[in-house]
Copies of this chain bind each other. A is one copy, B any other.
Amino acid sequence: MPQMPDHKEPSGNTDGRLARGEATKDRVLDAAERCFAAHGFAAVTIRQIAREAEVTLGVVSFHGGSKELLFGTVLARRTATLNALRTDALNALQARGGITIRDLVDAYLTPYLEIASRGDPQWRAYAQLIARIVSDDQYYMQVRDLYDPVARDYIAEIRRIRPDASAKTVATVLTLTVASMLSIVASRVRISGLSGEPASESALDYRSTLVDFCTGGIEQALAAH
- Using an 8 Å CB-CB cutoff, how does the interface string of A199-225 with B read, 1 for contact, 0 for none? 000000010111011111111110110
The interface residues of chain B lying within 8 Å CB-to-CB of A213 are: 172-173, 176, 217-218, 220-221
> What is the predominant secondary structure among interface residues of chain A facing chain B?
helix
User: Could you list 24 examples of A-B contacts with CB < 8 Å?
Assistant: A42-B42, A42-B43, A134-B135, A135-B135, A137-B189, A140-B190, A144-B193, A148-B193, A155-B194, A167-B195, A167-B196, A175-B187, A175-B194, A176-B180, A176-B210, A176-B213, A178-B183, A179-B179, A179-B183, A212-B220, A215-B220, A216-B223, A219-B220, A220-B220
CB of A47 within 8 Å of the partner chain? no
CB of A104 within 8 Å of the partner chain? no
Taken together as a complex, chains A and B put the C-alpha atoms of A218 and B40 apart, in Å, by: 31
Taking the full assembly, how many copies of this chain does it contain?
2
CB of A92 within 8 Å of the partner chain? no
Q: Which residue of B lies closest to A155 (CB)?
A: B194
Query: What is the interface residue range for chain A against chain B?
Result: 35 or more
CB of A32 within 8 Å of the partner chain? no
Given B169, B190, B214, which contacts A175 in the complex, CB threshold below 8 Å?
B190
CB of A171 within 8 Å of the partner chain? yes
Contact B148 A172 (CB under 8 A): no
- Using an 8 Å CB-CB cutoff, how does the interface string of A147-187 with B read, 1 for contact, 0 for none? 01001100100000000000111111111101110111011
CB of A191 within 8 Å of the partner chain? yes
CB of A39 within 8 Å of the partner chain? yes
CB of A86 within 8 Å of the partner chain? no
Taken together as a complex, chains A and B put the C-alpha atoms of A182 and B179 apart, in Å, by: 9
Given contacts A135-B182, A136-B187, 14 further A-B contacts (CB under 8 A): A132-B135, A144-B193, A171-B192, A175-B190, A176-B180, A179-B180, A179-B182, A209-B224, A212-B217, A212-B224, A213-B218, A216-B221, A217-B217, A219-B220
Contact A131 B135 (CB under 8 A): yes
Contact B221 A212 (CB under 8 A): yes
CB of A197 within 8 Å of the partner chain? yes
Contact A187 B134 (CB under 8 A): yes
Smallest beta-carbon distance A200→chain B, Å: 9
Contact B194 A171 (CB under 8 A): yes
